[in-house]
Copies of this chain bind each other. A is one copy, B any other.
């Protein structure tokens, strides 16, 4: 089964709010209140999402006075993308030639001749 390792990746980024947070954090580090001001959810909701993201290793936090600044954790991001990549590679083993990033110059598209 694949759900144990790769499932977490889907679960973490399966939420719209968390994806929005990750998108913001990719630009620059953000404080919790700043994120809550940008997003259509309350500050505690942001806090809870950040806890999920942190437990998944996607973000790191740094205390600056009363503020807590979150930033992306590059290693965690890479690991998560690896998990998703593993899913694609394993689940779609017979369709690897369709991976867009891996497109080879030979344009032999597998056409099912039914």
A interface with B by C-beta (< 8 Å): 2-3, 7, 10-11, 13-14, 16, 19-20, 22-23, 26-27, 62, 72, 74-75, 77-78, 81-82, 84-85, 87-88, 90-95, 98-102, 109-110, 112, 114
Main secondary structure of the interface of A (DSSP, over half): helix
A29 to B104, CA, bound (A): 26
Given the known interface contacts A20-B3, A84-B84, the answer about A94 and B26 at a Cβ–Cβ threshold of 8 Å is yes
A14 to B26, CA, bound (A): 22
Q: What is the CB-to-nearest-CB distance from A60 to chain B, in angstroms, rounded to a whole number?
A: 9
Q: What is the CB-to-nearest-CB distance from A112 to chain B, in angstroms, rounded to a whole number?
A: 6
> Which residues of chain B have C-beta atoms less than 8 A from A88's C-beta?
81
Which residue of B is nearest A2, CB measured? B23
Choice from B22, B82, B94, B98 contacting A91 with Cβ under 8 Å = B22
A98–B81 CB distance below 8 A: yes
Which residue of B is nearest A99, CB measured? B81
Given the known interface contacts A10-B14, A14-B14, A114-B75, the answer about A19 and B91 at a Cβ–Cβ threshold of 8 Å is yes
